[in-house]
Amino acid sequence: MSIPGLGQIPAETVTSATRTIRLNPAWEWRFEVPPGGTLTLKVLSGTAEKDGVELAQRSAYSFAGIKSKILTWHGCELEVEGRCDDDFTAEYTNPIANPATSYLNLHARLVEMRIAAARERREGPRVLIAGPSTTGKTTLARTLTSYATRQGYQPLMVNTDPDEGMLSFPGTLSAAVFATIIDPEAVTGWGSTPTSGPSTVPVKLPLVYYYGRKSSEEDPDFYRELVSRLAGTVSGRLSDDEAVKSSGLIVDTMPISEKGGIGLDLIAHMVDELSINIIVVLGSTRLNAELTKRFAEEKTSLGEPISVLMLDKSEGVVERGEHFLQHSREAVIKEYFFGDARRSLSPQIQQVDFDSLTIYKPSDYSSYGDDTLVREEPSSLMQHWTLAVMHASLRDSPETLRVANVMGFVYVADVDEERRKMKILAPVPGRLGDRPLIMGKWPEPFINLLG
């Protein structure tokens, strides 16, 4: 186009956001998609995986608000559409140079143990992954779980890090049997939280306990109690199901300091309660030495020695800032009630009288120094909080309620103190007054789901 006196006006150049990336064997493509952004990826040729989940050729995978990587063992060609905050290709001269090879070798060793366990009708490997913050513990747990399911095993996955929920909200401890593939597109990487909507990837049904705090060290006694409860249920499932029993379990843990302290004591409690026989330490020689020394002479409840194995952390592990983590927590809560880009849900909105609700919260103090539950009158302070619906009776004592498992969650959309009514969002219809609710101390409300 030309304008008199100005001459030819050049057309604006539009840069295509679609590009092709070629990876040689054992290379990784690492990428960061910002909150609110979306990236679409296809495997055009070859084979590729994300956290152990093999990606199908020519299928479009969408990722939003994520920091992750695509690994290929045999080479591949990727088509990527969208923009990243940062991305690059990690090149290795041979597969041995990539730390992911040691994860594959660990999986092969676990398979040998599972085969022997099935033959001898005993429990398979019980693996606990420990390490400081930002060492890739959760990624390794997902990878080992994915590799196991791809070979037909049914490992029981346990999450004891309240900062990041597994198939549940943050602030919880959970466990679930993984007999089918993990959803690679899920916000948390584990899959969708159980809701009323259909899913292309089979939904896992986790056992969930409500801790309601960010760190295990905020209330270590209560944390130990929940771990013991979780361990009891896990042991029951291992005893009742032969396929799960021989597949064993994998435990993802909270970050612990290299200087030891209470974190080491909590890890020791898990090892004892869950009869752990393999401890994998990621990225810390000091922590490896501490745990090796601590468990050198100990045996599991089944009389097995406890092995401590150190692995290098992946070079692709990156720090996730608080803003990024907050967005991830928000995305999990939104998905639970409203679904995601692949499926939309229609949550139920209920107007509930104050008098019909039974709500508890952790007490701010106790004469004995222990954190207990106290009955809480509904108020505007609860607005925008998520409350846990407990699998318990209204007649149960606070001591019983605090260690009951979770049925689901509801969201307090609005509170009218004058009319003594509360507007509550629930994923499915049902009487809320029939079950006790618990309001934790974390995560604090930071979103308004209804706008």
For residue 133, count other CB atoms closer than 10 A to its CB: 12
Answer for the pair 287, 131: CB distance below 8 angstroms, yes or no.
yes
pLDDT tens-digit profile of 21-62? 999 999 999 999 988 889 999 999 999 999 999 999 999 999
pTM of the full predicted structure?
0.91
Instruction: Say if residue 441 carries a ligand binding annotation.
Output: no
Residue type, 289: A
Q: Is 299 helix (H, G, I), strand (E, B) or coil?
A: strand
pLDDT at residue 335, rounded to an integer: 87
pLDDT at residue 5, rounded to an integer: 47
State mean pLDDT over 154-179: 94
User: Quick check: 12 pLDDT over 70?
Assistant: no
pLDDT at residue 9, rounded to an integer: 47
d(CA 3, CA 290): 76
State mean pLDDT over 180-192: 84
DSSP string, 85-117: SEEEEEP-SSGGGSTHHHHHHHHHHHHHHHHHH
DSSP string, 118-146: HHHTS---EEEEE-SSSS-HHHHHHHHHH
Instruction: Say if residue 139 carries a ligand binding annotation.
Output: yes
pLDDT at residue 187, rounded to an integer: 79
Token pair, residue 404, equals 């009951």
Alpha helices (runs of H) in 253-359, residue ranges in sequence order: 262-273, 285-294, 322-338
User: Quick check: 3 pLDDT over 70?
Assistant: no
pLDDT at residue 407, rounded to an integer: 94
pLDDT at residue 15, rounded to an integer: 37
d(CA 373, CA 400): 10
pLDDT tens-digit profile of 326-381? 888 888 888 889 887 777 888 899 999 999 999 999 987 644 445 689 999 999 99
User: Quick check: 206 pLDDT over 60?
Assistant: yes
User: Quick check: 73 pLDDT over 70?
Assistant: yes
Rounded-to-5 percentages of helix, strand, coil across the chain: 25, 30, 45
User: Quick check: 10 pLDDT over 80?
Assistant: no
pLDDT at residue 243, rounded to an integer: 95
Q: Which residues does 29 contact at the CB level (< 8 Å), separation at least 6?
A: 21, 23, 69, 70, 78, 87, 88, 89, 90
pLDDT at residue 367, rounded to an integer: 42
CA dihedral 229, 234, 235, 238 (to 10 degrees): 170
Q: Between β-strands 28-33 and 86-90, what pairing exists: parallel, antiparallel or unpaired? A: antiparallel
Instruction: Say if residue 134 carries a ligand binding annotation.
Output: yes
User: Quick check: 102 pLDDT over 90?
Assistant: yes
State mean pLDDT over 258-266: 86
Query: Which residue has better confidence, 111 or 324?
Result: 111
pLDDT tens-digit profile of 269-301? 999 999 999 999 998 999 999 999 999 999 998
Three-state SS annotation for 302-320:
CCCECEEEEECCCCCCCCC
pLDDT at residue 446, rounded to an integer: 73
State mean pLDDT over 100-118: 97
pLDDT tens-digit profile of 237-260? 999 899 999 999 999 999 998 776
Q: How high is the mean pLDDT of the chain? A: 89
Residue type, 436: P
For residue 231, count other CB atoms closer than 10 A to its CB: 21
Burial of 14 (0-12, 13-18, 19+ CB in 10 A): exposed
DSSP string, 199-229: -SSPPP--EEEE--SS-TTSSHHHHHHHHHH
Instruction: Say if residue 334 carries a ligand binding annotation.
Output: no
Ordered strands of the 49-50 beta sheet: 53-54, 49-50, 66-71, 28-33, 86-90
pLDDT at residue 13, rounded to an integer: 36
% of the chain at pLDDT higher than 90: 70
% of the chain at pLDDT higher than 70: 92
d(CA 279, CA 270): 11
Instruction: Say if residue 136 carries a ligand binding annotation.
Output: yes
The owner of tokens 């004892």 is 272
Instruction: Say if residue 13 carries a ligand binding annotation.
Output: no
d(CA 182, CA 53): 7
